[in-house]
Every structure is written in C-alpha cells, then in structure tokens.
Amino acid sequence: MIFGRGLFAGAAGCKSGQMPVYERHTHLPYPRPEVFDWFTRPGALVRLSPPFSGSVRQEPTDGIEPGSTAVLGIGAPGSLGLGLGSATGFLAGQLPFRRPDWAAPELPWRARHTELVPGEMFQDVMESGPLAAWTHTHLFEDAGVSAGTPGHVQPEATGMTDRIEYELPGGGLLEKASGALPGPLGKLGRVPEKVFEVELARIFAYRERQLLGDLAFHAEHAGPLTGGRTLTVAVAGASGLIGTQLCALLAGGGHTVLRLVRGEPGGAGAEDREDVIAWDPATGSLDADALARADVVVNLAGESIGGRYTPERKRAILDSRVDGTALLARALADLAADGLQRTLVNGSAVGYYGAHASDGDQWLGEDAPAGEDFLAQVCRDWEDATALAQTAGVRTVLVRTGIVQSPAGGMLQQMLPLFVAGAGGPLGVAGGRDPWISWIGIDDVAGIFAHAVLDGELEGPVNAVAPEPVRASEFARVLGRVLHRPSVIPVPGFGPRALLGTEGAELMVEASQRASAARVEGSGYLFRTPDLESTLRHVLGR
C-alpha cells in the first residue's frame, strides 16, 4: 500500500501571549464527502487512537455533533509509557475481575465537540485532562490534479489539516522565566513544547496511516462506500483485543454492528440497547429474534489461553469456545429456514496444527492435519462446533489466527516490559531449537476478519497470519532494533515455565508453526504491514 505524504509544521515562532500551534497536513486520495463521513461514524476514535499512547475509555456519545463527549486514557510519553502501560496491562489481564479505570497507568482526558460544519470542519476541546488547554480543529478541503483549466481542481481527493492549539501545564511559566536569560539559555523554555510536539508527530503519523489504510480497505470491499449494501454484523467477543478493532473497522465502513453481551435485555450487561444481543453460552440462552437481524455473525468469544494450564483452566478454555460456537451455530441453522443467506465467521488459531508442526521448515497450509496437543484439540473441537451451521447452508469461515502484535495485549504486551528495560531476548530458543513464529499485526487480523465478513466467496479455514513468519531469534532482533534495546541473550527456559507451567510453556512459548498466508492473499486481501519491522514500528509508534 502506498500512503499519502504528511507535512508537519510545529509551533516554533509562536508570538508571546499566544498558545503554541501544531499542524499536520494529510493528502487523502478519496473524495471529501467520503472522508468526512468516515469521521462521523462509530469507531473512528478507536481506529485513530494509537495503542502506544493510551486507550479509549468511552467513545463519543453523539459522534462529532456539538456537545458529544468522549473519554480517553493518556499514558506517559516515550519508552516509560510503553513499558509501564504494557506491564500493567498484562498484570490486569491476570486478574479475575475487570481493572477499574482509576487503577490504570493513564491520566483521564475528557473531550467535548464544540463546532461542526458538515463536510468542512469539526472541533473538539479538552474539558479536563493533563494539559492546561487543548483545541483540535479538523479541516477538510477538495484537493486533486488540475483538469486542464487553470485554477480548476477535481474534487477527487481531500486535503485534511489537523490544527491543534495547546498549552502545557504551568501556563508557559518556564518559557517566561527563561526568556530573560542570555543566549541559548533563553530558549530553554521551548524544550517542553518541542518534546511534546515530537510525541504529537508520532501520534498523528499513526493516525494518518490508520485513516489511509481504512479508507483503502473500504474502497476495496463491497459496502456503502462502493455502492454496495450495508450489512448488519453481530460480534461475540466484541470487547476483546481483536473484537474492539474489528467492530470499529466495520462501523467505519458504514456497516451496522451488534454486540453479543452476556445478560438479559435491560439487565446490567445488555442495557436494553438496540445494538446489543443478549446471550449466555453457559446456560445455552440466546435471543434468536435479535440475532435474526444479522447478516453475518462473528464469533471471537473465548477464555484467554494465557496462564497456567490447570485442569480447571483447560476446561474453561475449551468450554468457552465450544459451547458458545455450538450455540451460535444451532441458532443460525434454525434461522436458515427463512431462506436468507447468512454467514458465520468463527475464530480459531494456528495452534490447530500442533505446537511442533514446524520443528523443521514445513509450511502449514489450511489442508495440513490437526495436531494432538491440548490447544490443537481445542481448535479442532472449536471448528467442529460450527457443523450445524455449515450443514444448514450457512457460509462458514474459520479464521486461524497467528500471534497478534499489539502493545494492548497478547505476546507483545508481555514481552515489552523486559525489552524496554533492556533485558529482552529470544523466547523458546534452547538446545538448538529456534521456533517459527506465525505473527500478524492487529490491523491486519481485524482486516482479515472484516474481509471474511464482506467477501461472499471466502469459505472454510483460512490462516490469518502475515506472509513472512520469522524465527524466535529474528523476532527478538527486530523488536530490539525497533526499541533501540539489546536483544541477544535468550530468556532462560525456567522463566516461562515458572509463569506458565511446563505444558503452557511448551504450547505457547516453544511452539513452532510456519503457517502460510497464501490462501488469504489469493482471496484478494492486501496486507497493510506484511513484514514484522513495519508492523512493530506502526503499533509502537517508532
């Protein structure tokens, strides 16, 4: 994918008494109404929020309409924030309850939209947060190539400007105090602004790549933006790492997203909202009438596979996947009697092939046999639970995910604290073994699930992995290079075993799977970041 060029103009030279101004200009090769509409849809803030700088705690209450509010969590800048955020995020994932927002290593940022001129601009301000002041104005104008007539521009592209007026805590006291000092010392007061703008440049570079990537994805897939119809997609596991991004990506394309939530309509979980479907796999309950509204059901629900593999945890991992999938498959099979064509996109994983499927250099296509270990059994039973839907004629896609790369969760989140501290190294490398890692970036795994939703021809198992798997030693080298940290010394095997137990370490840390992306590429999916280094630089803002 070729991205548009972004231009940056900082705050240098701002007049005394005025707030500093940061601007970023982005060229988008899409019509202005199409670009502007993307910002008005649910999910835009989620898609634009970098995982290396914080999180979205509450999406806008009313889009970009004046008065709409949103709440973000803002992490510390640079490596400090990356290491602290990943460490606390990993620890929170081990808790048996949801961590309260006040315990997060982030400062709350409450934003409110204040102005809107449809198709041209909108503005938001910081109502409360870590800065003294912040006003963000989004400006849009037609941009394109000359049509031959002087001064005439074809409105086939958009020029977007992000203009930010801000004031750091302290109200510029350092700048005022240093202004009386002689020579270079008089410029010391500008240092905090320059550091702040370096962080802004990282954030807006990420936002630019995300926006261009999402617009390109929707241009390539049938939907409202390409003259196609709007789909209604029900998602189980919508609040998870993949589900959050998938829901936002689909909503940004104009599709309607429904979330399956445990509980009864009107209860604490479902809240009696039209975009919520009540279900409970443990009791076998599901609001089938509400599910009937969906053209596609995406199932991402399941207990985390992290942690020690006690008998109780193994049972929870298996049951949470099989029971929920069987419940959805049975409901879709029953609904098939109405004659409407529906689709089930069901999660799975490359663990299907077994932990040691590629101890040599074997490539694993979707026709490779299932393994015999615990996680292979889970994946096999998980996929088999879709049988009722397939028999009833429901188009079924089984997405076998690789190791997802995001500092917001999974393997990368667990590794970052050690690497940021300069103590990181290859995992699972011992006794001449250097296992294959079939990885995939968070945006590409969300993209492949969305591709499976929107491409009516794709069916059966498909590996959701990047085209270039790497050895564990290479993964560590690339991560160390991106973070500018050492990464040579392997992590001793007793560390993962102490944390995960013997079986957990063998199935997760020492697993070797070299899965092929040929089928998903052959179906027309275009990877955003097909190589590991570009993926890590994007999700880590480096």
* Rounded average pLDDT over 84-101: 57
Enumerate the CATH 3.30.530.20 domain ranges in the chain, comma separated: 6-218
pLDDT for res 443: 98
Q: Are strands 296-299 and 232-236 parallel, antiparallel or unpaired?
A: parallel
Which of 465 and 143 is assigned the larger pLDDT? 465
CA angle 180, 184, 186 (to 5 degrees): 20
Enumerate the CATH 3.40.50.720 domain ranges in the chain, comma separated: 221-540
Burial class (CB in 10 A: 0-12, 13-18, 19+), 427: buried
Are 37 and 224 within 8 A, CB to CB?
Answer: no
Number of H helices, E strands in the chain: 16, 21
Nearest to 379 by CA among 357, 394, 409: 357
Least confident of 66-80, 100-114, 337-351, 513-527: 100-114
Are 87 and 34 within 8 A, CB to CB?
Answer: no
CATH, domain range 221-540:
3.40.50.720
Whether residue 535 has pLDDT greater than 80: yes
Whether residue 84 has pLDDT greater than 60: yes
pLDDT for res 204: 97
Q: Is 90 helix (H, G, I), strand (E, B) or coil?
A: helix
Q: What are the structure tokens assigned to 481, written together?
A: 């290079």
Whether residue 382 has pLDDT greater than 50: yes
Q: Find which of 296-310, 338-352, 416-430 is predicted with most confidence, using mean pLDDT.
A: 338-352
Name the CATH superfamily for 6-218.
START domain (3.30.530.20)
Share in percent of the chain as helix, strand, coil (round to 5): 40, 25, 40
DSSP string, 456-518: TT--EEEEE--S--EEHHHHHHHHHHHHT----SPPPTHHHHHHHHHHHIIIIIS----B--H
* Rounded average pLDDT over 269-294: 87
Q: What is the pTM of this model?
A: 0.90
**Quick one: what percent of the chain has pLDDT higher than 70?**
83
pLDDT digits (tens, 9 = 90+) for 12-49: 334 445 889 999 999 999 999 999 999 999 999 999 99
pLDDT digits (tens, 9 = 90+) for 203-217: 999 999 999 999 999
pLDDT for res 152: 53
Cα separation, 313 vs 497, whole angstroms? 16
